[in-house]
Amino acid sequence: MNRKHTNMLNTGSPSPGSASALDLAQQRLRFADAHPRQARSIRSVAISLLALGVAFGACAQTPQTEPAPDPDSDVLEDVVIDVPAETPPAAAVPAAATPAPPEQGTDATVDFDDVEIDVGPGMQDLAGDTPQDQTAAGETPADPASEGPLSATGEANPTANATEGDRPLAAWLDPLRISLKHEISYKFASPQRVVNNRSSVRLEYSKPLTSNLYLRLDTKLNLHWTNDHRAKAKDESPFRELVTREAYLQSSFGNTSFRLGYQILPWGVSEGGAITDEVSPRNNAEFFFISLEESRVGQPMLAMDHFGNSGQWSAFFVPRPGYNKYPDRGSEYDIPGAFDRNAPDDDWDNAGTYEFGARWKRTFGKSDISLMAARLIDNDYLVRQQRFSMYGLTANIAIDNLLLRAEVALKQPRAFFATPAGGSGLTVVESDQFDSSFGFDYSPGGRTLVYSAEVVWSRLLDWNGDIVGREQDEYSLVGAVTNRFFNDDLTLSWLTIYSRPYTSIRHRFLSSYLIDDNSTVYFELFYPDERDDRSGTWPYRDQKQFVIRYQYQF
């Protein structure tokens, strides 16, 4: 039985804040003026965000070119930036028409609050006016001894600077982001019941430790309450689960950066299928009801990115591969006998399971192209532990308000279950596989309305009629429409996926409403329409659900 977990099915809801980086920086600066005691602690963050917002706005208004860097300059020496997840070019759709970003910390977009910039000694002039600048402008340089918050009598507080220097704990906790969430889902098709009833605490921490060393941590504690289907399957109340998606250190040397630790590496541009996105394992524990922030599984990895005249070069090495996560035995999405095999427990020193690969990416104005090759272990271990090679190409082409997306990949070989003629039981056969997708995103000029469509095609090149669970060719058509209302506080999306030859139609409605800068409520509706009992998703034909989530983030 062949089960695929698609990116598009896990399209997340918008992040709690929709304000631009520039607006956010200006708000923090105004807050600093009104509250001088906190001004010094947030001054550097506000200035950095303001600079980032201005730079982003300028890039969105002017054609992008790729200047050749000075080979003798270390442009990354003083800047430590967390490398964002794979996304189509931001300039492909106008800022006013781009769909709201997925919820915080997802793989699809970059939240500007997550971008950490460490200003080194060579870039201090960006942080504010120097005394020389003030003198040239006719201003009197401030006396360092008089800087700091005022006392209750209106006089300068002589101990303010000492107090600022005695707050190392506050400085370390400042980059910490905490998200509190509760979720309830209800299955309204017979038999009706509560499926999910869970709470979670998510910690995200991104901080430069030195001018050349950066720390990233993303971990989440899930609490599944008594009537949650996973708590029932585990016979625990509450069932506690700690999931760490990312925990790594990053360092840069000149134009090259390295990341070491548990990471997620998304590849590809398709929103309807895993074409070249084969590096990071998937979380299939809850079919397509899994939220985007939990849709990928981290694994130990050494990754490298080099920015040169010829483009961006990336490489990775995985010493101990991770595998897809499947439903718990006895849970809502378990299929008896389908997920009984345990994931391989590989040794760190087993060179036969090492994964590695490389990618070259080049940007041309608002468009880009990527070539990649990798040697991988199939994340789907249910057939067997299978090593294969992957060669792929992706492209984004922006034309005014239209973004065209294309992706192809050759995978040699893949393993499949088969039933030989006249024989009993299952055997394993191999076949090379060719996957491709072609799609577009279109937004009418100056509007928040976005139309998306994509066709996904998968073909087995060494077809064997004994293969179980799929045909030689499989197709999927993906259509979606997204719009925002009330100053972008309300986001509504509709998604439909039509699959052949085993006919399956899946509908998903997504909505989110930003109550304030910290609180967001989500409503989602899932309606599968399975029409062929040979389909791998046939057992989930009655999983018609709606989901309500509330998130508070600070």
pLDDT tens digits, 27-62: 443 434 444 443 333 444 444 444 444 343 444 343
Of residues 315 and 536, the one with the higher pLDDT is 315
CB atoms inside a 10 Å sphere around CB 375: 12
Average pLDDT of the chain?
78
Residue range 347-361: average pLDDT?
95
pLDDT tens digits along 389-433: 999 999 999 999 999 999 999 999 999 999 987 677 889 999 999
Strand ranges in 268-335 using DSSP code E only, listed in sequence order: 299-308, 311-318
Q: At what angle do helices 21-34 and 36-61 cross, to 10 degrees?
A: 160
Residue range 460-466: average pLDDT?
93
554 pLDDT exceeds 80? yes
202 pLDDT exceeds 70? yes
- pLDDT at position 30: 44
For residues 220 and 238, what is the distance between their CA atoms, to the nearest angstrom?
Answer: 15
pLDDT tens digits along 145-160: 333 433 433 444 444 4
pLDDT confidence tier of residue 166, bands split at 50, 70 and 90: low
For residues 409 and 386, what is the distance between their CA atoms, to the nearest angstrom?
Answer: 17
For residues 520 and 15, what is the distance between their CA atoms, to the nearest angstrom?
Answer: 8
Residue range 319-325: average pLDDT?
95
Q: Looking at 111-120, 208-217, 335-344, 476-485, which range is the least confident one? A: 111-120
pLDDT confidence tier of residue 484, bands split at 50, 70 and 90: very high
pLDDT confidence tier of residue 165, bands split at 50, 70 and 90: low
- pLDDT at position 272: 85
CA distances from 444 to 398, 400, 406, 466, 519 (A): 14, 10, 21, 48, 30
Q: Is the dihedral of CA 103, 106, 109, 114 positive or negative?
A: positive
For residues 121 and 128, what is the distance between their CA atoms, to the nearest angstrom?
Answer: 13
What pTM, to 2 d.p., does this model score?
0.70
Name the range with the highest mean pLDDT among 96-110, 124-138, 151-165, 277-291: 277-291
CA distances from 96 to 157, 447, 483, 531 (A): 46, 6, 11, 39
Residue range 525-549: average pLDDT?
94
19 pLDDT exceeds 90? no
Q: How far is CA 494 from the centre of its chain?
A: 20
Of residues 324 and 421, the one with the higher pLDDT is 324
pLDDT tens digits along 225-276: 999 999 999 999 899 999 999 999 999 999 999 999 999 999 999 988 899 9
Q: Looking at 10-14, 383-387, 412-416, 484-488, which range is the least confident one? A: 10-14
For residues 467 and 474, what is the distance between their CA atoms, to the nearest angstrom?
Answer: 13
Tokens of 420: 């030989």
For residues 492 and 64, what is the distance between their CA atoms, to the nearest angstrom?
Answer: 31
Q: How far is CA 164 from the centre of its chain?
A: 36
486 pLDDT exceeds 80? yes
For residues 552 and 66, what is the distance between their CA atoms, to the nearest angstrom?
Answer: 40
Of residues 426 and 473, the one with the higher pLDDT is 473
Residues 6 or more apart whose CB falls under 8 angstroms from that of 173 comprise none
Strands 427-442 and 402-418, how do they pair? antiparallel
Of residues 63 and 463, the one with the higher pLDDT is 463
For residues 154 and 158, what is the distance between their CA atoms, to the nearest angstrom?
Answer: 12
For residues 233 and 22, what is the distance between their CA atoms, to the nearest angstrom?
Answer: 47
Helix (H, G, I), strand (E, B) or coil at 345: coil
Of residues 296 and 168, the one with the higher pLDDT is 296
pLDDT tens digits along 244-253: 999 999 999 9
